[in-house]
Copies of this chain bind each other. A is one copy, B any other.
Amino acid sequence: MATTPLAKMIYRFGEGKADGSIKLKKLLGGKGAGLAEMTNLGIPVPPGFTITTEVCRFYFQNKKYPAGLEREIDEALAWLEKVTGKKFGDKENPLLVSVRSGAAVSMPGMMDTILNLGLTEETLVGLAEKSNNPRFAWDAYRRLIQMFGNVVDGIEHKKFEHILEEVKEAKGVKEDTELDVEDLKEIVRRYKELYKIEKKEGFPDEARQQLNKAIEAVFKSWSNPRAVTYRKINRIDENEVFGTAVNVQAMVFGNMGEDCGTGVAFTRNPSTGEKVPYGEYLPNAQGEDVVAGIRTPMHLDELKQQHPDVYRQLTDVFEKLEKHFRDMQDLEFTVEHGKLYLLQTRTGKRTAAAAVKIAVDMTKEGLIDEKEALLRVDPEQINQLLHPTLDGEKKKEFAVIAKGLPASPGAVWGEVVFSAEEAVEAAEENRKVILVRTETSPEDIAGMNAAEGILTARGGMTSHAAVVARGMGKCCVVGCEEIAVSEKGGFFQVGDRKISRGEVITLDGSTGEVFLGKVPTVAPSLSGDFATLMSWADKYRRLGVRTNADTPKDAQIARDLGAEGIGLCRTEHMFFEEDRIFAVRQMILAENKEQRQQALAKIFPMQKEDFKQLFEIMKGLPVKIRLLDPPLHEFLPKKEEDFVALAEEMGVSPERVKRKAEELFEFNPMMGHRGCRLGITFPEIYQMQVRAIIEAACELKKEKGMTVEPEIMIPLVGHINELKKVKEFLLPVIEEAMEKQGVKVKFQLGTMIEVPRAAVTAGEIAKEAEFFSFGTNDLTQMTFGFSRDDSGKFIKVYLEEKILPADPFRSIDEGGVGKLMEWTVKEGKKSNPQLEIGICGEQGGDPQTIYFCHRAGLDYVSCSPYRVPVARLAAAQAAIQEE
Chain A positions within 8 Å of B, measured between CB atoms, are 666-673, 677, 680-681, 716, 718-719, 721-722, 725, 754-757, 760-761, 764, 778, 781-787, 789-791, 793-794, 797-798, 801-804, 813, 815-817, 819-820
Q: Nearest Cβ in chain B — how far from A463, in angstroms?
A: 9
Are B721 and A787 in contact, with the CB atoms below 8 A? no
With contacts A668-B789, A760-B816, A816-B761 known, is A801 near B673, CB below 8 A? no
Are A793 and B721 in contact, with the CB atoms below 8 A? no
The residue that A786 contacts in the complex, of B669, B671, B794, with Cβ under 8 A, is: B671
CB-CB nearest in chain B for A778: B785
Residues in B whose Cβ lies below 8 Å from that of A778: 785
Are A757 and B816 in contact, with the CB atoms below 8 A? yes
The residue that A756 contacts in the complex, of B672, B782, B793, with Cβ under 8 A, is: B782
Residues in B whose Cβ lies below 8 Å from that of A819: 760-761
Residues in B whose Cβ lies below 8 Å from that of A782: 671, 756, 782-783, 785
A868 CA / B26 CA spacing, docked (Å): 60
Are B681 and A787 in contact, with the CB atoms below 8 A? no
Q: Nearest Cβ in chain B — how far from A716, in angstroms?
A: 7
A764 CA / B814 CA spacing, docked (Å): 14
Are A790 and B820 in contact, with the CB atoms below 8 A? no
Residues in B whose Cβ lies below 8 Å from that of A801: 680, 725
Q: Nearest Cβ in chain B — how far from A670, in angstroms?
A: 5
The residue that A667 contacts in the complex, of B669, B784, B804, with Cβ under 8 A, is: B669
A820 CA / B789 CA spacing, docked (Å): 26
Residues in B whose Cβ lies below 8 Å from that of A802: 721
A794 CA / B716 CA spacing, docked (Å): 13
Sample of 14 further A-B pairs with CB below 8 A, known A671-B671, A718-B785, A782-B783 = A667-B669, A670-B787, A671-B786, A671-B791, A672-B790, A672-B793, A673-B791, A677-B794, A680-B798, A719-B804, A755-B783, A756-B784, A761-B816, A782-B782
CB-CB nearest in chain B for A820: B760
A677 CA / B816 CA spacing, docked (Å): 17
With contacts A671-B670, A716-B785 known, is A761 near B815, CB below 8 A? yes
With contacts A668-B670, A670-B668, A671-B668 known, is A794 near B725, CB below 8 A? no
Are A671 and B793 in contact, with the CB atoms below 8 A? no
Are B787 and A667 in contact, with the CB atoms below 8 A? yes
Q: Nearest Cβ in chain B — how far from A199, in angstroms?
A: 34
A802 CA / B757 CA spacing, docked (Å): 17
With contacts A756-B756, A761-B819 known, is A785 near B680, CB below 8 A? no
Are A671 and B803 in contact, with the CB atoms below 8 A? no
The residue that A668 contacts in the complex, of B668, B794, B813, B817, with Cβ under 8 A, is: B668
Residues in B whose Cβ lies below 8 Å from that of A789: 666-668
The residue that A757 contacts in the complex, of B757, B784, B798, with Cβ under 8 A, is: B784
With contacts A793-B681, A794-B677, A801-B680 known, is A671 near B787, CB below 8 A? yes
| A-B pairs with beta carbons under 8 Å apart, 30 shown | A666-B789, A666-B790, A667-B669, A669-B790, A671-B671, A671-B781, A671-B784, A671-B791, A672-B787, A673-B793, A677-B794, A677-B798, A681-B793, A681-B797, A716-B785, A718-B783, A719-B784, A719-B815, A721-B802, A725-B803, A756-B782, A756-B784, A756-B785, A757-B817, A760-B816, A760-B819, A760-B820, A761-B815, A764-B815, A782-B783
Are A787 and B719 in contact, with the CB atoms below 8 A? no
The residue that A721 contacts in the complex, of B677, B722, B791, B803, with Cβ under 8 A, is: B803
A754 CA / B782 CA spacing, docked (Å): 11
A761 CA / B814 CA spacing, docked (Å): 11
Residues in B whose Cβ lies below 8 Å from that of A815: 719, 761, 764
Are B816 and A666 in contact, with the CB atoms below 8 A? no
Most buried by B among A716, A725, A783: A783
Residues in B whose Cβ lies below 8 Å from that of A722: 803
Q: Nearest Cβ in chain B — how far from A777, in angstroms?
A: 12
CB-CB nearest in chain B for A464: B667
A722 CA / B786 CA spacing, docked (Å): 14
Are A673 and B794 in contact, with the CB atoms below 8 A? yes
Residues in B whose Cβ lies below 8 Å from that of A680: 794, 797-798, 801, 803
Are B672 and A804 in contact, with the CB atoms below 8 A? no
A401 CA / B299 CA spacing, docked (Å): 90
Residues in B whose Cβ lies below 8 Å from that of A672: 787, 790-791, 793
Most buried by B among A669, A725, A755, A756: A756
The residue that A755 contacts in the complex, of B785, B794, B803, B820, with Cβ under 8 A, is: B785
Q: Nearest Cβ in chain B — how far from A566, in angstroms?
A: 24
A671 CA / B680 CA spacing, docked (Å): 25
Residues in B whose Cβ lies below 8 Å from that of A764: 815
Are B671 and A785 in contact, with the CB atoms below 8 A? yes
Residues in B whose Cβ lies below 8 Å from that of A673: 790-791, 793-794
A718 CA / B795 CA spacing, docked (Å): 13
Q: Nearest Cβ in chain B — how far from A246, in angstroms?
A: 32
Are A794 and B681 in contact, with the CB atoms below 8 A? yes
A820 CA / B670 CA spacing, docked (Å): 22
Q: Nearest Cβ in chain B — how far from A590, in angstroms?
A: 16
Most buried by B among A667, A672, A791, A820: A667
Top 8 A-B residue pairs of the complex, sorted by shortest distance between their CB atoms = A668-B787, A671-B787, A757-B816, A672-B790, A667-B789, A756-B756, A666-B790, A721-B803
Residues in B whose Cβ lies below 8 Å from that of A804: 719, 721
